[in-house]
Amino acid sequence: HIGLSADPETFKRYRETEVIHARFAMLGALGCLFPELLAKYGGVPIAEPVWFKAGAQIFSEGGLDYLGNPNLIHAQSITAILT
């Protein structure tokens, strides 16, 4: 027993925070699956729909265009993103 729920108010705050974290995790999982499903079943042309391969596009010639729209967010250089 580590005492995380000794105080009812602290326990309530921890529980609410964990629910928020779980919701963001569900959105993250959806963000991994959604582009792949759009490319496969929706006919949407996505350059690299597989989530674990998408980040490598930043090193390609044209950079990384989110949602296929170069005006939305264009990441041509890893240095520009990190700064």
pLDDT tens digits, residue range 36-49? 999 899 988 887 88
Q: According to DSSP H, which parts of 1-83 are helical?
A: 8-41, 51-54, 78-82
For 36, the token pair is 């792949």
Q: Is pTM beyond 0.75 here?
A: no
Is 54 exposed, middle or buried, given 0-12, 13-18 or 19+ CB atoms closer than 10 A?
middle
Residues 6 or more apart whose CB falls under 8 angstroms from that of 63 comprise 57, 74, 75, 76, 77
The residue type at 36: E
- Residue 50's pLDDT is 83
What whole-number percentage of the chain has pLDDT above 70? Answer: 71
- Using one digit for the tens of pLDDT, what is the confidence trace for 7-29? 889 889 999 999 999 999 999 99
Place of tokens 């090193």: 59
Give yes or no for residue 56 having a pLDDT over 90. Answer: no
Look at the block and give the residue holding tokens 């930043």. 58
